[in-house]
């Protein structure tokens, strides 16, 4: 059979159209992934491996992470031909190089069995610590509204729990009004650094180091990542875009820090039940916070509605503050709030369909249902920029 190229028709497979769509519209910051998606849409053998996927919506990011993991496994010492297009192993061949389709075809053939296993058993677990640059002012806002700087943070879908070490990261805010950059957090050389461009005003008190402290933390995940396992560490790196060296270095530093300060993450199939039990164990002088980011995108409408019902019950009955960082459709389904539809000028991800919306729901005796809801911020999915929208 001839090697599929971009001139070939889409394969006769139910996932082909989705890969073509994502190749044309998504991954604006990773042109290689755009090209690989479109090649996958035309590659019957690659699509056949997807029969191993468990039931649920297709996530092309899982396939791309599986490819990336195999490239990282080979490393620079024994690279496949496809590795020449992956900046993560030190190579930068152009994505429009006519040799790419043949290299992709050979790679899929060679690694078919491992790729199939990744699709069957893995999930995308980026554990993006860059979101901590947004989490910092969000926690400060919770401390302000709740009247207590001592917070207890529960990370739902925590992966390796790296964001639970937020207090040990350094965030650097770059303001679009010409103000001087502001760095918050430890300044040691090995500290993970989280750069964040700020569009519009961001109240200075929300960036004060003393605005909050984490008195207790806990994460939960269906499959927590064990950072003592080198294969698990490689999988986390594989879930990153290949050419984003800064993001990869940040992750490596966060993983190294976690060796000295291991966060607590528990495997659990019902994270909200675990949260309810944890609330019983907290001291009375802390404000409990539930946080999740890009987790509920994997929920179908029924489980999503159930999550909202149960989380809101904890807000009303247990004094919980619920911080959600999800895409537009999930934000509206979880809060009833309508995210802004205007673009953010000057950013690669200007389209609101590619933004993350941070919504805070907390106890409010003056609200009809006992819950106050507000849109705090919209941001880049990885926290590279934020536009604050809180009061």
Note the pLDDT of residue 78.
66
Note the pLDDT of residue 116.
98
Cβ neighbours of 142 (radius 10 Å): 25
Name residue 378's beta-bridge partners.
Answer: 357, 387
Q: What does pTM read for this prediction?
A: 0.92
Cβ neighbours of 309 (radius 10 Å): 10
Note the pLDDT of residue 22.
93
| 282 Cβ neighbours under 8 A, 6+ residues apart | 152, 216, 288
Name residue 372's beta-bridge partners.
Answer: 362
Which stretches does DSSP call E strand in the chain? 150-156, 170-175, 182-184, 193-199, 213-221, 265-267, 287-293, 321-326, 356-363, 371-379, 385-388
Residues of the chain with pLDDT under 50: none
Note the pLDDT of residue 77.
61
Look over the chain and give the mean of its residue pLDDT values, rounded to a whole number. 94
- As a whole number of angstroms, the distance between CA 39 and CA 296 comes to 29
**What are the domain boundaries of the chain?**
16-121, 129-388
What is the enclosing helix (H) or strand (E) of 1?
Answer: none
Joined together, the tokens standing for residue 363 give 């106890």
Q: What angle do CA 98, 103, 109 make, to 5 degrees?
A: 145
Note the pLDDT of residue 298.
84
Note the pLDDT of residue 350.
66
Q: Which of 307, 288, 311, 285 is nearest to 373 (CA)?
A: 311
- As a whole number of angstroms, the distance between CA 390 and CA 77 comes to 50
- The predicted-structure confidence for 26-56, as pLDDT tens digits, reads as follows 888 899 999 999 999 999 999 999 999 998 8
């Amino acid at each position: 059979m001839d090697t599929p190229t971009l001139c070939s028709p889409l394969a006769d497979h139910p996932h082909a159209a989705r890969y073509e769509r994502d190749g044309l519209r998504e991954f604006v910051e990773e042109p290689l992934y755009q090209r690989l998606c479109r090649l996958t849409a035309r590659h019957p053998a690659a699509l056949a491996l997807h029969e191993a996927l468990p039931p649920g919506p297709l996530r092309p990011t899982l396939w791309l992470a599986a490819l990336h993991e195999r490239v990282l496994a080979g490393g620079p010492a024994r690279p496949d031909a496809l590795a020449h297009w992956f900046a993560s192993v030190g190579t930068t061949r152009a994505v429009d190089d006519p040799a790419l389709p043949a290299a992709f075809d050979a790679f899929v053939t060679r690694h078919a069995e491992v790729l199939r296993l990744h699709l069957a058993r893995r999930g995308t677990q980026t554990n993006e610590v860059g979101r901590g640059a947004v989490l910092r002012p969000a926690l400060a806002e919770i401390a302000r509204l709740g009247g207590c700087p001592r917070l207890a943070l529960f990370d739902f879908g925590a992966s390796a729990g790296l964001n639970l070490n937020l207090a040990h990261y350094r965030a650097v805010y770059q303001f679009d009004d010409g103000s001087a950059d502001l760095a918050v957090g430890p300044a040691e050389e090995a500290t993970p650094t989280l750069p964040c461009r700020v569009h519009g005003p961001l109240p200075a008190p929300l960036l004060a180091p003393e605005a909050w402290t984490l008195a207790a933390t806990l994460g939960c995940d269906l499959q927590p990542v064990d950072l003592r396992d080198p294969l698990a560490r490689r999988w986390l790196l594989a879930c990153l875009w290949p050419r984003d060296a800064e993001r990869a270095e940040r992750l490596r530093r966060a993983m190294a820090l976690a060796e000295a300060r291991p966060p607590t993450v528990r495997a659990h199939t019902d994270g909200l039940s675990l949260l309810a039990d944890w609330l019983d164990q907290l001291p009375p002088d802390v404000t409990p916070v539930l946080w999740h980011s890009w987790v509920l995108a994997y929920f179908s409408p029924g489980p999503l509605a159930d999550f909202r019902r149960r989380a809101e019950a904890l807000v009303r009955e247990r004094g919980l503050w619920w911080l959600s960082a999800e895409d537009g459709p999930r934000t509206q389904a979880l809060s009833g709030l309508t995210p802004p539809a205007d673009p953010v000028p000057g950013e690669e991800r200007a389209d609101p369909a590619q933004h993350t919306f941070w919504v805070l729901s907390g106890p409010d005796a003056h609200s009809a249902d006992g819950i106050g809801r507000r849109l705090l911020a919209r941001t880049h999915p990885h926290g590279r920029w934020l536009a604050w929208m809180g009061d």
